[in-house]
């Protein structure tokens, strides 16, 4: 069987008007302080801001691990160091797990992985990361939109992340009773 050829014609001059119009109008509305504009997609903004927070916290914890190793307060294995240094090309969810599992191991939080990563709500975080990737790298117009179900997942992931990081970083076991329990 021969190689499948892709017709380059559709890619010669892609029509990006759907993308530019939506995002340009949204940015213009935000810049002028028009938060009632029909162009503003608050769900996507909520998702994006949540993921900025997750990545910022993860970066700080990652840096804390590396500095603690350099200052000889903890001893990272070669494998852990390689994984923590591996930024580009590492999927966000995989990087998230590596950072927090390494933190748990070295800062006496071994139950963090069992309690929080065994929680079924971590699936919401994984789905949220995938949805963020889709909205940041849209292939079609619907990729820019979040449904009510998508937003509910992001909100559950946010609650889970807030509780998990409070427990991990403060040392206090804090876990609200889930509404469905």
The pTM (predicted TM-score) of the whole model is: 0.77
Question: Does residue 8 sit within a domain?
Answer: no
Question: Does residue 155 sit within a domain?
Answer: yes
Residue 128, token pair as written in the block:
């949220």
Question: What's the pLDDT at 178?
Answer: 39
User: C-alpha distances in angstroms, 170 versus 44, 162, 165?
Assistant: 30, 12, 8
Question: Does residue 61 sit within a domain?
Answer: yes
Spell out the alpha helix ranges (H) of the chain: 9-12, 17-31, 42-70, 78-85, 92-106, 110-116, 122-136, 148-170
**Residue 179 gets which letter from DSSP?**
T
Question: Does residue 81 sit within a domain?
Answer: yes
Which are the contacts of 13, defined by CB distance < 8 A and separation ≥ 6? none
User: C-alpha distances in angstroms, 102 versus 93, 111, 123?
Assistant: 14, 12, 20
Neighbours of 159 (CB within 10 A): 15
Question: Does residue 1 sit within a domain?
Answer: no
C-alpha 46/C-alpha 155 separation (Å) is 9
Our count of domains for the chain comes to 1
Question: Does residue 6 sit within a domain?
Answer: no
Question: Does residue 141 sit within a domain?
Answer: yes
User: C-alpha distances in angstroms, 142 versus 19, 44, 113?
Assistant: 10, 12, 35
Question: Does residue 122 sit within a domain?
Answer: yes
Q: What is the mean pLDDT of each run of 10 residues along the chain (181 residues)?
A: 55 64 80 77 89 91 92 94 74 87 90 84 92 90 89 94 88 41 42
Domain of 121?
41-170
């Amino acid at each position: 069987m021969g190689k499948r050829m892709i017709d380059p014609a559709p890619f010669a001059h892609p029509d990006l008007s759907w993308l530019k119009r939506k995002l340009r109008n949204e940015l213009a509305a935000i810049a002028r302080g028009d938060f009632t504009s029909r162009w503003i997609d608050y769900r996507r903004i909520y998702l994006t801001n949540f993921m900025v927070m997750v990545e910022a916290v993860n970066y700080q914890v990652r840096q804390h691990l590396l500095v603690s190793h350099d200052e000889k307060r903890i001893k990272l294995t070669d494998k852990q160091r390689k994984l923590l240094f591996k930024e580009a090309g590492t999927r966000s969810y995989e990087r998230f797990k590596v950072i927090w599992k390494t933190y748990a191991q070295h800062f006496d939080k071994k139950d963090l992985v069992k309690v929080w990563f065994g929680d079924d709500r971590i699936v919401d975080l994984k789905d949220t990361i995938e949805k963020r990737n889709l909205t940041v790298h849209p292939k079609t117009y619907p990729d820019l939109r979040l449904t009510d179900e998508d937003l509910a997942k992001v909100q559950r992931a946010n609650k889970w992340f807030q509780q998990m990081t409070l427990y991990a970083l403060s040392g206090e076991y804090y876990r609200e009773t889930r509404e469905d329990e």
